[in-house]
Structure 1
Amino acid sequence: MISTSDIFSIASKKEFEKITLKVFRHQYEHNAVYRQFCTLLKKNPSNVKRIIDIPFLPIQFFKSNRIVSNTNSDEKIFTSSGTTGMITSKHHVTDLKVYETSFRQAFSLFYGNMEDYCILALLPSYLEREGSSLIYMAQDLIEGSQHPDSGFYLNEYKQLIKKIIELDEAGQNVLLLGVTYALLDLIEMHSFSLKNTLIMETGGMKGKRKEMIREELHALLCKGFGVKAIHSEYGMTELLSQAYSLGNGIFECPPWMDILIRDTEDALSPIGYNRTGGINVIDLANVNSCSFIATQDLGKKYENQTFEVLGRFDNSDIRGCNLMVQ
């Protein structure tokens, strides 16, 4: 049995490796879909002795399978956003406490006590649908901040502008968590000069605006909000952990999460530092579903264990990842 307290108390690389291999063995044993995938690749606990040997399940599996590693019933099903008619991912969560521990502990690690902030969430695309894991997290952080002005904003841009200025001028620490296109909408309506506010962008354009490269986007947001850096959150429906960037698009993982980079031509071959490839995520908070996920994101990892997200695979570019995908 895997103890979640062990997962969230990892304090060294050695501990991470030990628990990761233990989680692999557990999921091989108890997750039928993952075991079938491993069997196709001729991987099993007898020949998986290092993290580098572990197979990463293509993220598309979450669109067509119930990915779970126990027999418990679902407490929540998180769903990804998608255009009409698109098949969305479903993450069957059998223990919400694990997710809550993961995002609360990660927030504390990167930002300190949530009670030190007023948390404002500008997440229209997410608020307008059911099943968003980001909304679940934001709601919990808003409540945990215990600040009377913390809350969600949908399309109330004028009220939000007034509130941000009021709080910032009063010296209140503010965290504005916003979907990218909505943050751009906001600075087109008002030019800020903020001293006590962190801007954290999440998600993307959601089809509302043309995609932009990060340097251009962050330069616009820095100028519009009058801040030196734009923070970012890297998470997804299929994960129960987030990596954070405190600026310049350089992300860091909490101790129970890690990133590996795979070859774009051969999905089963990991590559080294400073090279662009597909992002594989180890998320030990996903102990009850699958902790080893091959995403559709492109990125680069550095020797200090930080990483960048550089874009997404075009579907036609995904090679070696399509075994068993329905």
Structure 2
Amino acid sequence: MEPIDTQRIFSIRNTAQFEEVALAIFKYQYHQNGVYRKFCDFLGKSDRTVAQLVDVPFLPIEFFKSHHVVCGSTKPQAIFESSGTTQSQTSKHFVPDLSLYEQSFLNAFSLFYGPVEDYCILALLPSYLERQGSSLVYMVNNLVKRSNHPDSGFYLHNLEELHKKLSEVEQKGTKTLLIGVSFALLDLAEQFPMPLKNTIIMETGGMKGRRKELIREELHLILKKAFGVQTIHSEYGMTELLSQGYSHGNGIFQSPPWMKILIRDSEDPLSFQTEGKTGGINVIDLANLYSCSFIATQDLGKTLPYGSFEVLGRFDNSDIRGCNLMVL
């Protein structure tokens, strides 16, 4: 069974087109992804019984830690791996076609922020740079190169150098994006607070054990005060996805047209919540054509009007329902 034309994924313009492409991808992945098919069969679902989007089974994200979640046997061009301690098991996302990932993040960036060439991109991602296989580093490195700006680049722990660079681009009036992991942005805010008038600050989440966990509102309040900005932007992505949601402030995210958020009932993982009600975040990422496009994450959230959504935290292990479905 041949996969669908990838251009259909990135030319979606409405709900009807999304559902049509999503159902076609479900059929393809049911036949080509052995792990996903076994999971669907366990639930009594197949390409013959799934007729609408709400019928599609969502694979628990934990499968990426224990199984080889991929369609066919094509050798991967990249293996993205989640962060973790030496004792913990990490997720691995086998990516046979990197061009899909590149199309996804480039189209999404252009949709939410305009041409990447318009920006100087400064990346403060120490915990990601210190390990191999980060999908975030791959994305940001690609954006840095495509920005074609002489001041674009990565910073590890050299906060003083980053502070100097921020001062330079601010004086020039350069349109700048500072993208960073939360704990590193907090370090910068404490050591080198400064007013930023031409810079967008985007946090990617994660204290990675370096600092006490803060709720998003606390984090954003500290950063806004330190840098004199009205809003803090955010990126919602993960190793197991090839698409990202973006927030222009207040923790309210939007997805690109080929990505959709559904909220499952915390007590019944096979049913869904209505708009405004809290539950587990399920993601449909059509760019995940060669792995699995239908993923039940460990994040808590709710959907809001106009296709937006909010991320409220994470399930504790003791709160996850339906884990018996993962023992296949």
Q: TM-score range by the shorter chain?
A: over 0.9
Is the 1:119–1:145 contact (alpha carbons within 8 Å) kept by the matching residues of 2? yes
Is the 2:60–2:326 contact (alpha carbons within 8 Å) kept by the matching residues of 1? no
CA distance in 2, matches of 1:171, 1:85: 46
Cα distance, 1:83 vs structure 2: 1.2
Report what 2:96 is aligned to: 94
Report what 2:296 is aligned to: 294
Report what 2:32 is aligned to: 30
Report what 2:260 is aligned to: 258
CA distance in 1, matches of 2:214, 2:158: 25
Name the % identity: 63
Is the 1:262–1:278 contact (alpha carbons within 8 Å) kept by the matching residues of 2? yes
Cα distance, 1:55 vs structure 2: 0.4
Report what 1:307 is aligned to: 309
Report what 1:108 is aligned to: 110
Cα distance, 1:274 vs structure 2: 0.2
Change in 2 beyond 3 A, CA 1:243/1:325: farther
Q: Which residue of 67, 77, 82 maps to 1:80?
A: 82
CA distance in 2, matches of 1:94, 1:215: 38
3-state secondary structure, aligned to 2:167: helix
1:165-215 CA-to-partner distances (Å, cap 9, x unmatched) read 110121000100000000000010122111100000003111111111111
Report what 1:238 is aligned to: 240
1:24-54 CA-to-partner distances (Å, cap 9, x unmatched) read 0110011100000000100112221111111
Count of matched residue pairs: 326
1:47-69 CA-to-partner distances (Å, cap 9, x unmatched) read 21111111000000000111111
Q: Which amino acid aligns with 1:315?
A: N
1:60-93 CA-to-partner distances (Å, cap 9, x unmatched) read 0000111111331111100000012110000000
Q: CA RMSD in A?
A: 0.9
Q: Which amino acid aligns with 2:184?
A: A
Cα distance, 1:234 vs structure 2: 0.2
CA distance in 2, matches of 1:322, 1:240: 27
Q: Which amino acid aligns with 1:314?
A: D
Q: Which residue of 144, 147, 150 maps to 1:145?
A: 147
In structure 2, runs of 5+ residues without a counterpart are none
Is the 1:267–1:321 contact (alpha carbons within 8 Å) kept by the matching residues of 2? no
CA distance in 1, matches of 2:292, 2:323: 16
TM-score w.r.t. the length of structure 2 is: 0.98
CA distance in 1, matches of 2:101, 2:246: 16
Cα distance, 1:317 vs structure 2: 0.4
Stretch deviating more after TM superposition (37-46 or 315-324): 315-324
Q: Which residue of 243, 247, 250 maps to 1:248?
A: 250
CA distance in 2, matches of 1:199, 1:28: 40
Q: Which residue of 173, 176, 182 maps to 2:175?
A: 173
Is the 1:192–1:224 contact (alpha carbons within 8 Å) kept by the matching residues of 2? yes
TM-score w.r.t. the length of structure 1 is: 0.99
In structure 1, runs of 5+ residues without a counterpart are none
